[in-house]
Structure 1
Amino acid sequence: MTFAPEWLALRENADAAARSTELVDVVRETLVNRNPLTIRDLGCGTGSMGRWLAGRLGGVQHWVLHDRDPRLLGLAQASVSAIGNVTAETREGDLTALRAADLAGADLVTCSALLDLLTAEEMNALAAACVGAHVPALFTLSVAGRIELDPAEPLDAAFQDAFNAHQRRVVDGRRLLGPDAPAAAEEAFAALGASVRSAQSPWHLHADALLGEWLKGWTGAAAEQEPALATEVTEYLRRRSTASAVVHHVDLLAIPRTA
């Protein structure tokens, strides 16, 4: 699955405001004696994680940007390389094929809004790769499956349940984790002996362009999963256009014992 640069740009400020800075503080303490840092960013998109995290870590850094979309990789490399004391290179390919040997030499593995697109088997393999390479992993903005709309109305729960079921759908024989991803990630790393911390990272949206686009995508996926909701979408969107929303996500930091 790939994403349009326009959507990634629209959500970047909300992502930046939501991510846990407390987990970054722990990362910085863990990597305090390492300079320069090598960071592998999985599913990098246009490089928003690098733009958000590089300044918070400080020092000299080299980012290895992974994605399957060459257009996004080009945008990411240009923007991340423009950050002071930061260099960047790209890796195009399937992230689910990464193993410990591919992560060797990294000081940190990161991703953003990625884990819900994996299967349980792929999540277990990614955890094994990070632990096998003795590298901490900072995984941000995993969908939690909980939405709060204000004012609330009865259809909110129906759309939420249908959307969550859509997130867990089978795609090309792969059953996606969807909102089960945070728990699956924590379980996978803990089973391998890693120390795991999590933090809430909700979006707070208030009748803006991002809310409108997110609502269209949310209701569209829900109606695809439950066609009976399709007749409700137009009026529901009209009523919700002035609402506020809290879209819950989870950040996770896993540190192998030997990291």
Structure 2
Amino acid sequence: MATSVVFIHGLWVHASAWQPWRDLFAEAGYTTEAPGWPGDSETVSATRLNASRVSGHGIQDVTDHYAALIAQLPDKPVVVGHSFGGLVAQKLLAAGLASAAVAIDPAPIKGVKALPFAQIRSALPVLANKANRDRAVSLSRRQFRYGFGNALSRAESDELFRTFTIPGPGRPIFELTGAKKDPVSPAAVETGDPRRGPLLIVGGEKDHTIPQVVARQAAELYGSATDTEFREIPGRGHSLVFDSGWRDVADLALRWLAERVPAAR
């Protein structure tokens, strides 16, 4: 039986951005799914037209959404997540719902202390207005350029903005900012369980939205008894999973998975 892989996108990027990954993993023998977040529509344009549907959903809502979808699969899948999807992937792995996880430029789990200026600036489109906690928020072309496309040419960044960006709920970012003081924060992840499956955390060297030091600190929070590995991708920003260099990151994930969760069980 072929191993299932579930791809989880992050804020502001539609699930269709995973299509090249799905094609590549299918060629390698995996079966793939790339469901959207709660409220996402099937296409980028439809999601933009129905922005209110995505508002109000928090980290746990998104996690529960994917957990319900995973429960319908014939096997325990691998989960591959980007940005907030990387945080959700870690939560699903820790809950025993995934056989392995790849978290790429993941939003910080509770306990990460690093808070670089670039990360704060990238979150300002949401945090600047407290009312955004319960709203859908869209990035401007300029905000996308800073947070996602800073390591790309302006032309490529603008094309990715046009092709893949969608409104996203503001709530997850507010939940991250309050994680330190929240005893039941949805950003909390069990990091010491040696029984859970393997985890690869990937950080882009030039990422503004989730700077590399944030991803590295997340990996360091995991206990030495867990199968956890960190890799840095030189010269790459937050768009690394869907820009022109996506194949380098996908090949890294495939090589890592081949040693731990074969395409055929």
TM over 0.5: no
Query: Over alpha carbons, which structure has the higher Rg?
Result: 1
Instruction: Name the TM-score, length of structure 1 as normaliser.
Output: 0.37
If asked which structure has higher relative contact order (CA below 8 Å, sep 6+), I would say: 2
Q: Which is richer in strand?
A: 1
Instruction: Name the TM-score, length of structure 2 as normaliser.
Output: 0.37
